[in-house]
Amino acid sequence: KAGVTQTPRYLIKTRGQQVTLSCSPISGHRSVSWYQQTPGQGLQFLFEYFSETQRNKGNFPGRFSGRQFSNSRSEMNVSTLELGDSALYLCASSKGQGIEKLFFGSGTQLSVL
């Protein structure tokens, strides 16, 4: 069974640009969650999608948005990039039935110059 796949692996952008990251969950999983990891703040929850609907959201500005498609694949978008958005962005998948294990991808390393 293939694991969680995130693309691209690395991204370099400049301030003010926007970026889209992609995540394909494990086959059969319908929930996708996104996390931001930085050296200073650690791992922080961004949002979670299930059946194309956002069910949960963390404390991030509106520049961070996401969506989920009918095949459960998810995209995350960050608009008007700031230097502080440089981070490892990780997505996790699960069946979406409540309290359960999360399975993470290898992440997208975003550098904002």
Partner 1 sequence: GIQVEQSPPDLILQEGANSTLRCNFSDSVNNLQWFHQNPWGQLINLFYIPSGTKQNGRLSATTVATERYSLLYISSSQTTDSGVYFCAVDRRTAGGTSYGKLTFGQGTILTVHP
Q: Which of residues 17-76 bind partner 1 (CB under 8 A)?
A: 31-33, 42-45, 47-48, 50, 55-56, 58
**For residues 80 and 110, which CB has a smaller minimum distance to partner 1 in the complex?**
110
What's the per-residue H, E or C state across 34-92?
Answer: EEEEECCCEEEEEEEEECCEEEEECCCCCCEEEEECCCCCEEEEECCCCHHHCEEEEEE
**For residues 90 and 112, which CB has a smaller minimum distance to partner 1 in the complex?**
90
**For residues 20 and 44, which CB has a smaller minimum distance to partner 1 in the complex?**
44
| Min dist. Cβ of residue 15 to partner 1 (A) | 24
| Min dist. Cβ of residue 16 to partner 1 (A) | 26
Angle in degrees, CA 22, 64, 80, rounded to 5: 100
Under rule CB under 8 A, residue 90 binds partner 1: yes
**3 state DSSP class of 31:** strand
Q: Contact, 89 vs 74, CB < 8 A?
A: no
Q: Using CB under 8 A, list all residues that contact partner 1.
A: 31-33, 42-45, 47-48, 50, 55-56, 58, 88, 90, 92, 94, 96, 98-107, 109
